[in-house]
Amino acid sequence: MDYCLKGGFVVDPVTQRQGKLDVLIRDGRIAAVGPELDPAGAEVFPVAGLHILPGLVDMHVHLREPGREDEETIATGLAAAAAGGFTAVAAMPNTDPALDNPALIAFVLAQAERVGGVRLCAVGCLTKGQRGEEMAELGELVRGGAVAFSNDGVPLPNAEILRLAMEYSKIFGLPILLHAQDAHIGREGVMHEGRWSTVLGLPGIPALAEEVAVARDLLLAAATGAAVHIQHVSTAGAVAMIRQAKEQGIKVTAEATPHHLILTDAAVAAYDTNTKVNPPLRSEADRAALREGLTDGTIDVIASDHAPHTLEEKHREFALAPDGMVGLETSLGLVLTELVRPGLLSLDEMVMKMAVNPRRILGLPEGSLTPGLPADLTVVDLERTWRVDPGLFRSKAKNTPFAGRELVGKAVATFVGGRLVHRE
């Protein structure tokens, strides 16, 4: 079906087009953007008072299929993504079995195709079985459809394997997404090492665990010339090193999550296992550094690190509960409420970090409302007030520390390839 979005306010930082404009969608692509367009047979979709953005992309999600369909499936994860305003997601390879061969890549892509709706980009496993001992067949993963490589969630203690993987990744022009964490420093920790870990009597993970790994990975990137992306940056020291690396011309990009940008380790005070994440929620000084890195361009992307778990898994004592929280359905609202409305980020900057930059890093089509491009777009009501209710999530999982929080700003329609995949 063709649509003409009428009366909305377009925000497109790539073309620098901004204002009250209509968007015409024909045959799954953007046909025209301009004032008072003639629908010419397209269904009129009224969006007066709403903002039309290039489709959001979450480049760090866990969909659990295959292997842990009790936590999430591709179908429920993509439904959650659509409801959150995302038109594409990058699925991490830490499934069971791990996405370390082209058959498994083909499986998740076929599942997503069957489900329809939000686009799924598969990230191939950097090492066989995610064990960190032997490099996966990267070329085969690319032929199977992988858009990037990662050993997501499992640190790589063997720097030689990572060095070789970086060399190989250059052949294919694909980035390596790095969970930068030393495998041994603070390995028994369950939260940030600091004042609150002492008060709560919980073993801590020092900032050093991340910073040692970031330093090593940046040195390897400099030596190989490979493109690397540091996932879920959480410490001030890591932000400083990434900033310096960019100034030196090293091919590095970085992401931060809404929860690291909004919460601190003080949130763990109630022993709520939904605040248990890896890397852990850090100190106020770390959060301030992350926000500074976000505004000065050191941090390129905001990504959710959507990590679903069952109620039973999270309802355990803090030290035994798994790490992670869901984020696909709350990320946009949290960012709009906590970062855009207070003026820490402009709407243009938010679009760059949640739509444009993820696409550029993953090599996807440009994130803009340019005629001829696929009609992937997100319609947002910046004034919509709503309360986070996990009971209404499309995701199978409900593990969020933001339950009950009032947010302002919500995706009210999501189009993927010209198809309406979500509407409030």
Rg over CA atoms, the chain: 21
Q: What are phi and psi of 262, to 5 degrees?
A: -115, -40
- Compute the distance between CA of residue 250 and CA of residue 222 in angstroms, rounded to an integer: 6
Burial 209-221 (b: 16+ CB within 10 A, else e): bbbbbbbbbbebb
Q: In sequence order, which residues have a C-beta less than 8 Å from that of residue 114 and are 6 or more positions away?
A: none
- Compute the distance between CA of residue 351 and CA of residue 309 in angstroms, rounded to an integer: 29
Is residue 305 annotated as a catalytic residue, yes or no? yes
Q: How far is CA 8 from the centre of its chain?
A: 26
- Give the amino acid at 227: A
Confirm if 226 and 177 have CB atoms less than 8 A apart: no
Of 170, 148, 155, the residue nearest 251 (C-alpha):
170
Give the orientation angle of helix 236-247 with respect to helix 208-224, to 10 degrees: 10
Edge-to-edge, what's the strand order for the sheet holding 301-302?
Answer: 56-61, 86-91, 119-125, 148-150, 176-178, 228-230, 252-256, 301-302
Confirm if 89 and 121 have CB atoms less than 8 A apart: yes
Please state, as a whole number, how many other Cβ atoms lie within 10 Å of the Cβ of residue 44.
Answer: 12
Identify any residues that bridge with 115 across adjacent strands, giving them in sequence order: none
At 314, list the tokens. 């999270």
Q: What kind and span of H or E run contains 53?
A: strand 51-54
Among 58, 305, 376, 381, which one carries the catalytic annotation?
305
- Give the amino acid at 201: G
Catalytic residues: 305
